[in-house]
Amino acid sequence: MERDPHENGRHPIQEDGGFDTVGSVATNVEDGFTMAAVGDLLYARPVTKGHYPGLADVLRIFDEADVTFGNLETNILDVLSKGCPQAEYGGAYCISDPELGADLKAMGFDMVSRANNHTLDWGVEGMRETSLALDKHRIIHAGAGENLAQAGAARFLETPRGRVAMISFASTFGPMARACDPAGEAPGRPGLNPLRLAKSIIVPPEMLESLRQVREVLPGYNPAGKDPSRVVLGGVSYKAGTKASYSFEANSRDVANILRNVRQGKQVSDFCIATNHGHEPGEWSQEPADYEQSFARSLIDAGADAYIAHGPHVLRGVEIYKGRPIFYSLGNFFCQDLRTPVGADMYEEYGKDPRVDTDAEVTVDEVAKGYPTAEGFVGPQSGVEFYESVVTISHFEDNQLAELRLYPIELRRSMRFANRGVPRLAPPPQGAAILERLQKLSKPFGTHIEIQSGVGVIRLQPSSAQRGI
């Protein structure tokens, strides 16, 4: 059925007789449009035909959605025929069964982001095989490609309530994973769509002065042209501030490229998702990096209808800006820890011997040492926040967010290692704790979350978009 372009006040021709502004950033979906969004899919083996009580209850939440989104933080390939573990990898060799494409489709996922620190764990061949697996099952994906233009481009999903665009990029990645465009006779480089960040360490003024003195007595120091507001020592940049912290500055060229792709994606779609995979300031933090709020808002201003961040593996706050949701981290939707095969470099990193130890034993060590405790979590619950998250359902009316529902989930952390990491609805006490934590994390952004019958609810007042909140 053709959509009437004049419905809901959306007129392609303005009163002055000119065509609708090409750069319009307005949401343009039919009333009732619904987006389901989750965080990281650390997903190794098919689950829809397995024995995972409670999984079906979670997947039913997706039934009402026009688009269901997640971040695919793995590679789908048969390693016996394609790909090999790279010397530079994302902290673990994320690899999944070749049947994962069909399983993702069966669960209801129709859009996944690809730019993350595991995009090239298994090389360019692994990246390409993953693309083929997703294409085979008509799952829209963005963020990885044969050059920067392809990796950064918007990809599109047709739905009965409007066309959905998605732009995927990553602020956390290995340097060799960054895609680039051709230059003269040099071909482009396959990889991911990057958002490079320059990191500085903030220290008290007296500490900065001590670092400056150390720098000046080192051999080869040349004071010419040095920025007096910072000290670079051993390749690390330090600046003065009121308390010790980390600060990040986004690369202007990458920002311009991403904003352009968001603008272009929105120009030919009705709803645009911008999605970022970043660990900054660190997986220990339940707050976003200092650059991220202004950057997320600039994406909304450029035409994004939702900003979805993932990567820290823990929940962070929710903000509503101009009637559109900003998710600063949706944590994990899957956290299947048992991955196999494991590259030799990972055995070496954890002091294991592939002739004696097993892939599982390497991974157990990696989880124990590599899953940091977020701020506010101590003792025996270390790492528990990696296995708690929410499923978000964003419902739009009159082209702005009308209601956002948050369903708390847990990923079977208490089960044996081989079976953990698959979502189910959190039991009431645990679910309440998850939502209360999200309430606290969202409050600094002016977001009020009600808890009703075990579900978090955010409702917008009709004037919220006009107030810019």
Q: Give the burial string for 30-68 (b: 16+ CB within 10 Å, else e).
A: beebbbbbbbbbbbbbbbbeeebebbeebbebbeebbbb
pLDDT tens digits, one per residue of 47-94: 999 999 999 999 999 999 999 999 999 999 998 888 999 999 999 999
* Phi-psi sector, 262: left (phi>0), alpha (psi -120 to 50), beta: alpha
Token pair 């049947």 in the structure block, residue: 99
Q: Are 286 and 314 in contact (CB under 8 A)?
A: yes
Residue 194: CB atoms within 10 Å: 26
Confidence class for position 462, pLDDT limits 50, 70, 90: low
Q: Does residue 441 have a pLDDT over 50?
A: yes
pLDDT tens digits, one per residue of 265-320: 999 999 999 999 999 999 989 999 999 999 999 999 999 999 999 999 999 999 99
Q: Which of 252-256, 289-293, 378-382, 402-406 is the least confident region?
A: 378-382
In order of their start, the domains of the chain are 7-195+246-336+371-467 (3.60.21.10), 205-240 (no CATH)
DSSP 96-115: B-TTHHHHHHHHT--EEE--
Per-residue pLDDT, averaged over 391-410, amounts to 97
Mean pLDDT of the chain: 91
Look at residue 465 in the predicted model and tell me its pLDDT: 46
Q: Does residue 13 have a pLDDT over 60?
A: no
Per-residue pLDDT, averaged over 369-382, amounts to 54
DSSP 387-454: GEEEEEEEEEETTEEEEEEEEEEE--TTS-TTT----EEPPHHHHHHHHHHHHHHHGGGT---EEETT
Q: Does residue 355 have a pLDDT over 80?
A: yes
Look at residue 236 in the predicted model and tell me its pLDDT: 93
Confidence class for position 6, pLDDT limits 50, 70, 90: very low
Look at residue 80 in the predicted model and tell me its pLDDT: 86
Select the more confidently predicted residue: 167 or 218.
Answer: 167
